[in-house]
Chains A and B, each alone.
Chain A
Amino acid sequence: MNWIYEPWPWYIAGPLIALVMLLLLLVGKQFGMSSNLRTACAAVGAGKAADFFRFDWKAERWNLIVVLGAIIGGFIATNYMSDNTVEINPKVAQQLSNDYNITSAGESYMPPEIFATDTLTNPFIIAVLLIGGLLVGFGARYAGGCTSGHAISGLSNLQLPSLIAVIGFFIGGLVMIHLIYPLIF
């Protein structure tokens, strides 16, 4: 049973993600984890503010159910299937420690320096989380999909727009980590 507790290697996880996408196709849906945000906006009445949210959101309720499942999956995995530590490349861990005083690599799943609940008293951390979320939500809808919708679903369907979007994801990510992190952290 050790394999349940050990981190799953990429060659297990990747094929299982492809399976999730194919299962959703077989039940008539498309794998994408950000369109539920639009559904959620519509469900709470955002249609009054913008046409973008005026659609039959009840027909898209399925993606909110998938979200509920993902939440439950996270709960099950953290409580029953994991020791909640993540080992990364020691050089990257060392760099995190030297440059940003983030010393928790190998000891936790998320760095408590950013994600411990009591750091929410720090306005800088709140800004990082809030702005990060804003960019993700805005960018995902502008690009018409996120990592799952473009990098997995779209590229699997050989869509050039998805390739452009994924290149954009990496340009943005690399700029943030290599140019902006050193300025703000």
Chain B
Amino acid sequence: MRYITYLAIGIFFGIIMFKSEAASWFRIYEMFQFGSFHMYGIIGSALVLGIIGVQIIKRKKIKPLDGSEMSLKPKDKSVARYLIGGIIFGLGWALAGACPGPMYVLAGAGYVSILVVIFGAVAGTFLYGLVKGRLPH
């Protein structure tokens, strides 16, 4: 039953990503050219409602359905890892024209070439695991 819930949420997410065109290379390129409000509107409106939702959860002390703890732990304090890691991510996001969520959506939509990007992302994750100890965090 749990897995069906996760699967349903994933399907819902995939359809939203595709239909909002957030999974389209063109929209990512246009966003970085400041050519349209579209992507900023998606992120911004998700954020406004997300902030309100999280505040309600915190103030009303709402628990997940199974009674466990909300996954809202504060992130570790640092600048280096977020800034350097973020810049590396951004370079890849614009080069491939896709971030992790849309990669899977595009694979499902039948774009064979995206499998090369996904392979690269898995390899990049593995590489990070290998050199993690030698990077500033």
Contacts and interface: CB of A to CB of B under 8 A. Distances in A.
Interface string B97-137: 11111011111111111101111111111111110100100
Q: How large is the interface on A (under 10, 10 to 19, 20 to 34, 35 or more residues)?
A: 35 or more
A76 B15 contact: yes
Interface string B20-48: 11111111111111011111111111111
Main SS at interface, chain B: helix
Given A129-B120, A148-B101, A46 B126 contact: yes
Interface in A1-52: 7-30, 33-34, 36-38, 40-41, 46, 49-52
B95 A135 contact: yes
Nearest to A148: B101
A92 B33 contact: yes
A144 B126 CA distance: 14
A169 B89 CA distance: 6
A1 to B, nearest CB: 13
Interface residues of B, number: 116
Contacts of A120: 112-113, 116
Contacts of B112: 117, 120
A59 interface: no
A82 interface: yes
A93 to B, nearest CB: 8
Contacts of A131: 92, 95, 120
Contact of B116 (A11, A133, A181): A133
Most chain B CB neighbours (cut-off 10 Å) among A7, A51, A136: A136
A167 B105 CA distance: 25
A113 B96 CA distance: 13
Interface of B: 2-3, 5-33, 35-51, 53-54, 57, 62, 64-66, 68-72, 74-79, 81-101, 103-114, 116-130, 132, 135
6 contacts: A11-B45, A14-B43, A15-B45, A138-B88, A146-B99, A155-B51
